[in-house]
DNA sequence: CGCCAGGGGAGCT
DNA sequence: AGCTCCCCTGGC
C-alpha cells in the first residue's frame, strides 16, 4: 500500500465531475478505479490517500493517471481576482484533476455520453466491459473487466450494442471501432499531434462532433486547452460572460477551468 | 452556409 | 406525464 499526502485532490469531486465512468465509490472514503486492465482501490482521508498497489505500479501508472505531479493550485492562482464567479467555481471544485485516461476508452465513452445522463452512461460502459472486455482477477481474487479492445467492438452487430443500452449510439461505436481497426484513423499518430490536428482527426470519426472531440482531447489526450462546450457550459457562459469568456487569460489550461465551471453548475 | 428534425430510449421530478 | 439528457448527422 502506498500512502501520499496530496493537495487539491478529491476523488469525490473527480468521480462526480463526469470525466471518468469507471470510478465507483465503494464505502465512505473508498473508491475503486479500473483503467485499461488495471484495478485500484483508494482510500482518502482529506489530503491523506492510501493507494492499494505496489510502489512500482503506483510510480509507473497511477501517479500519472491521477496527474499527481501537477500543482492545480497554480491554475487556480491565475484566475482573475475580479472574476468572483470563476474564483468560486474553482474553490468549489478545487479537488478536481484532469485524469490521464486512455484515448480509445475516451473515444467510446464520450460517443456514448452524447445526449445522455451520467447514470445511464455508467451503466452502458459497465455493460460493454462486462460483455466484451477481458475478464481479469486481482491478487485478492476479485473479478473485474477490462475495457473492450477496438477489435472486440468492430465486429459486433448493432443489436448486440443495443442490448447494452446504447440506443442510437450503437452505430457510432461500431463504425468508429471499424475506423480504428482498419487504420483509417491512427490513434498512435493522434497522440503525437497538436490539439488542432488531433481534433480534426477525431472529427473524422462517425458520431464525433465538436463537443465530443473536445472531451476526447481533454480527457484522452490531456490537451488542457480543449474547452468542451455543452448546453450547461453554454448557458453558464451566456449568464456570467455576456461579452465572452476571457480565454486569452488562461491559455493552455482552459479545459481545467471548464471542469470547475461544469462541476459548479452541476450542483 | 444556417436551421432543425430525428434518433431510441432512460432517468428524474 | 413531461422534461431532460455533457449531441451528431443528414436533409432541406
Locate CATH 1.10.340.30 in chain A: 103-220
**What Å value separates CA A179 and C1' C7?**
20
Locate CATH 3.30.310.260 in chain A: 1-100+232-267
Q: Residue A27 pLDDT more than 90?
A: no
Reduced to 3 states (helix: H, G, I; strand: E, B; else coil), residue A39 is strand
Nucleotide nearest A117 (Cα, C1'): C5
Share of chain A above pLDDT 70, in %: 100
Instruction: Say yes or no: Cβ of A116 under 7 A from any atom of strand B.
Output: yes
Question: Across the strands, what pairs with A30?
Answer: A43
Residues 6+ apart with CB under 8 A from A27: none
Q: Read off the pLDDT of residues A192-202 as tens digits, 9 standing for 90 and up.
A: 999 999 999 99
CB A202 within 8 A of CB A213: yes
Cα A223 from Cα A198, distance rounded (Å)? 10
**Residues of A annotated as part of the active site:** 211
Q: Please name the residue whose C-alpha is nearest to the C1' of nucleotide B9.
A: A167
CATH superfamily for A103-220 is Hypothetical protein; domain 2 (1.10.340.30)
- Hits for CB < 7 Å against strand B across A residues 193-252: none
Q: What are phi and psi of A196, to 5 degrees?
A: -60, -45
Q: Read off the pLDDT of residues A206-240 as tens digits, 9 standing for 90 and up.
A: 999 999 999 999 999 999 999 999 999 999 999 99
What is the C-alpha end-to-end distance of chain A, expressed in Å? 34
Cα A227 from Cα A245, distance rounded (Å)? 11
Q: Residue A37 pLDDT more than 90?
A: no
Q: Read off the pLDDT of residues A109-152 as tens digits, 9 standing for 90 and up.
A: 999 999 999 999 999 999 999 999 999 999 999 999 999 999 99
Cα A2 from Cα A4, distance rounded (Å)? 7
Q: Per the structure block, which three cell numbers stand in for A124?
A: 452502458
Q: Can you give the pLDDT at residue A85?
A: 96
Reduced to 3 states (helix: H, G, I; strand: E, B; else coil), residue A139 is coil
Cα A257 from Cα A69, distance rounded (Å)? 18
CATH of domain A1-100+232-267: 3.30.310.260
Reduced to 3 states (helix: H, G, I; strand: E, B; else coil), residue A108 is helix
Checking A181-185 for CB contacts under 8 A at 24+ apart, the result is A181/A150, A181/A151, A181/A154
Q: Per the structure block, which three cell numbers stand in for A43?
A: 482510500
Cα A107 from Cα A109, distance rounded (Å)? 6
Q: Can you give the pLDDT at residue A44?
A: 96
Reduced to 3 states (helix: H, G, I; strand: E, B; else coil), residue A120 is helix
**DSSP code of A29?**
S
Amino acid at each position: 500500500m502506498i500512502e501520499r499526502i496530496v493537495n487539491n485532490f478529491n476523488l469525490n469531486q473527480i468521480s462526480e465531475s463526469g470525466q471518468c465512468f469507471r470510478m465507483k465509490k465503494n464505502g465512505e472514503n473508498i473508491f475503486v478505479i479500473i483503467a485499461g486492465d488495471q484495478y485500484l482501490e483508494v482510500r482518502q482521508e482529506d489530503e491523506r490517500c492510501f493507494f492499494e498497489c505496489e510502489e512500482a505500479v503506483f510510480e509507473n501508472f497511477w501517479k500519472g493517471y491521477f496527474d499527481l505531479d501537477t500543482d492545480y493550485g497554480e491554475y487556480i492562482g491565475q484566475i482573475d481576482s475580479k472574476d468572483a464567479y470563476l474564483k468560486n467555481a474553482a474553490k468549489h471544485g478545487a479537488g478536481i484533476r484532469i485524469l490521464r485516461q486512455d484515448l480509445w476508452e475516451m473515444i467510446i465513452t464520450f460517443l456514448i455520453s452524447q445526449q445522455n445522463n451520467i447514470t445511464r452512461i455508467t451503466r452502458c460502459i459497465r455493460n460493454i466491459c462486462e460483455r466484451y472486455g477481458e475478464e481479469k482477477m486481482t491478487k485478492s481474487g476479485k473479478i473485474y473487466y477490462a475495457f473492450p479492445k477496438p477489435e472486440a467492438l468492430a465486429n459486433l452487430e448493432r443489436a448486440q450494442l443495443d442490448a447494452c443500452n446504447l440506443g442510437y449510439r450503437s452505430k457510432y461505436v461500431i463504425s468508429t471501432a471499424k475506423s480504428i481497426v482498419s487504420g483509417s484513423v491512427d490513434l498512435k499518430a493522434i497522440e503525437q499531434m497538436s490539439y488542432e490536428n488531433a481534433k480534426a482527426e477525431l472529427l473524422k470519426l462517425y458520431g464525433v462532433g465538436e463537443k465530443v472531440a473536445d472531451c476526447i482531447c481533454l480527457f484522452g489526450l490531456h490537451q488542457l486547452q480543449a474547452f468542451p462546450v455543452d448546453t450547461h457550459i453554454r448557458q453558464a457562459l451566456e449568464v456570467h460572460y455576456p461579452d465572452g469568456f476571457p480565454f486569452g487569460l488562461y491559455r493552455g489550461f482552459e479545459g481545467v477551468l471548464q471542469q470547475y465551471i461544469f462541476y459548479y453548475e452541476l450542483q
